Amino acid sequence: MSVRGEVDISTVSQLDRAAAGLLVEAGGHLILDLSETAFMDLSGVRMAERLSRLAAAAGGGLAVVATTWGVRRVLALAAHPWLLVTADLETAMEAICDRGRSTR
């Protein structure tokens, strides 16, 4: 799922609903691509953590792609260490595929 613009208190609930729906459709595996996201506040971090827990409960996994300095910074400062954050889509896809193989 690619996200553009900003993830903040005014956009996070809509994004959360859409991502949770995709997570269910994808059998518990999701990549949240924030490479075109200019800003993310703490509500976005908490949403990513919640989605990660939902993915794990479904036997899958969530990877977050963060390339912009601001988004990487807030994730580094506020996210739990178990939240998988990568710098590129290829690494995220490999991580999700590895998680899928390890749960079988």
Q: DSSP string covering 10-56, please?
A: TTHHHHHHHHHHHHHHTTTEEEEEEEEEEEE-HHHHHHHHHHHHHHH
Parent domain of 54 = 2-102
Q: Of all residues in the chain, what percent carry a pLDDT higher than 90?
A: 88
Alpha-carbon distances of 7 from 21, 37, 62, 89, rounded to whole Å = 18, 7, 17, 19
Backbone torsions φ then ψ of 82, nearest 5 degrees? -80, -10
Average pLDDT, stretch 9-34?
A: 96
CB 20 within 8 A of CB 1: no
Q: Give me the number of domains the chain comprises.
A: 1
What is the token pair recorded at 32?
A: 């949240």
Predicted TM-score (pTM) of the model is 0.90
Write down the pLDDT at residue 77.
93
Task: Please report which confidence band the pLDDT of residue 99 belongs to, taking 50, 70 and 90 as the band edges.
Answer: low
Looking up residue 26, the CATH number of its domain turns out to be 3.30.750.24
Write down the pLDDT at residue 98.
79
Write down the pLDDT at residue 100.
60
- In this predicted structure, the answer to whether residue 102 has a pLDDT above a threshold of 80 is no
Residue with the bigger pLDDT between 37 and 79: it is: 37
Task: For 40-83, write each residue's pLDDT tens digit.
Answer: 999 999 999 999 999 999 999 999 999 999 999 999 999 898 89
Write down the pLDDT at residue 101.
64
